[in-house]
C-alpha cells in the first residue's frame, strides 16, 4: 500500500512538472513571437483561385438579360465601332498617319524599299507607301454598309460567352465569321481606289525601276494586299471601340449598351 502511494505521488509530480515546463515554453513563444499556442485554431478558408473564380462568376448576373438582348447589344457596339472607325479612316491621313493601321510596303517588296533608298530613290518608295494608304482612305469611305450588313447577318449563338470574353471578343468573332465575305465585297472598291489615286501607276514604275536595277522580276498583287490591310484596319478601330464600351461606362451611350455591358 505504501509503495502504491509513493508511486502515485511520483507520477503526480512528474505530470505536474511536465505541465509547468510546457506552460513555460508556451509563454516564451508568446513573448518572442506573439503567437498564443493556447488560442483555438481557426478553420482556414480555401480562398485560392477556385473560390475567387466562383465569386467573380456569381457577381456577374446575366439572369435579367436574354440572349437576344445580349446579341443586340454586341451588334450595336460593333456598329458604333464601324461608324466611328470608317469616319476616322476615311479622311486624309486616316490610315497614313495612324500608326495602329498604317499600311506599310508589302513584306515581299521591302527589299525594293532598301534598294531604292540605296541609290537615292527613297522619295519614290515613300510615295508608293503613301499612295497605298491614300487608296485605303478612299476605299473605306462609304464602306460602312458593307460592314454593317456583315454585322446584321451575323448569328451569335454563344452571345453570353462573347459578352463575358476578352475586351475585343465580339470583334474577333465578327472578323472570323465575315472576313472572306468582306474581302469579296470590298476588293472592287480598293481596285477602283488604287487607280483613282494613281497608286497602280506609281507602283508599276517603282517595281520596274527595281527590276531594272537588280535584273530581277518582282511582282505582287497590290489589290489583294491593300484590301486585306484596309479591312484589318477597320477591325482594329472596331476593337478599340468595343474595348472602350466594355471598360468605360461613359461610352455606353444608349440604354441597351448600358443594360448589356453594365452587368460586367
Nearest to 141 by CA among 48, 233, 31: 233
Q: What is the pLDDT of residue 54?
A: 30
* Domain ranges, ordered by start, for the chain: 62-261
Identify the pLDDT of residue 117.
Answer: 86
Residues listed for the chain: 264
88 pLDDT above the threshold of 80: yes
* pTM greater than 0.85: no
Q: How far apart are CA 36 and CA 30, in angstroms?
A: 5
User: Which one is predicted more confidently, 16 or 191?
Assistant: 191
pLDDT at 42: 43
Contacts by 67-72 with C-beta closer than 8 Å and gap 24+?
A: 67/159, 67/160, 69/256, 69/259, 69/260, 70/156, 70/159, 70/160, 70/162, 70/163, 70/260, 71/156, 71/159, 72/256, 72/260
Rounded CA-CA distance 208/245 in Å is 48
Amino acid at each position: 500500500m505504501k509503495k502504491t502511494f509513493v508511486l502515485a505521488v511520483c507520477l503526480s509530480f512528474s505530470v505536474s512538472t511536465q505541465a509547468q515546463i510546457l506552460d513555460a515554453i508556451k509563454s516564451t513563444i508568446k513573448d518572442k513571437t506573439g503567437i498564443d499556442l493556447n488560442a483555438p485554431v481557426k478553420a482556414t478558408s480555401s480562398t485560392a483561385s477556385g473560390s475567387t473564380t466562383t465569386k467573380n462568376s456569381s457577381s456577374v448576373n446575366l439572369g435579367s438579360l436574354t440572349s437576344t438582348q445580349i446579341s443586340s447589344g454586341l451588334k450595336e457596339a460593333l456598329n458604333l465601332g464601324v461608324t466611328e472607325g470608317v469616319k476616322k479612316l476615311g479622311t486624309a491621313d486616316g490610315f497614313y498617319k495612324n500608326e495602329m493601321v498604317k499600311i506599310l510596303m508589302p513584306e515581299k517588296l521591302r527589299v525594293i524599299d532598301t534598294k531604292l533608298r540605296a541609290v537615292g530613290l527613297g522619295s519614290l518608295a515613300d510615295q508608293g507607301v503613301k499612295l497605298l494608304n491614300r487608296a485605303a482612305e478612299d476605299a473605306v469611305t462609304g464602306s460602312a454598309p458593307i460592314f454593317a450588313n456583315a454585322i446584321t447577318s451575323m448569328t451569335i449563338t454563344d452571345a453570353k460567352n462573347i459578352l463575358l470574353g476578352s475586351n475585343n471578343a465580339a470583334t474577333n468573332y465578327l472578323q472570323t465569321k465575315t472576313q472572306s465575305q468582306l474581302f469579296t465585297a470590298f476588293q472592287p472598291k480598293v481596285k477602283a481606289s488604287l487607280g483613282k489615286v494613281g497608286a497602280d501607276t506609281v507602283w508599276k514604275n517603282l517595281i520596274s525601276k527595281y527590276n531594272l536595277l537588280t535584273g530581277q522580276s518582282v511582282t505582287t498583287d497590290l489589290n489583294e494586299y491593300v484590301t486585306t490591310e484596309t479591312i484589318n484596319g477597320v477591325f482594329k478601330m472596331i476593337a478599340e471601340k468595343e474595348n472602350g464600351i466594355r471598360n468605360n461606362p461613359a461610352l455606353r451611350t444608349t440604354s441597351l449598351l448600358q443594360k448589356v455591358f453594365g452587368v460586367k
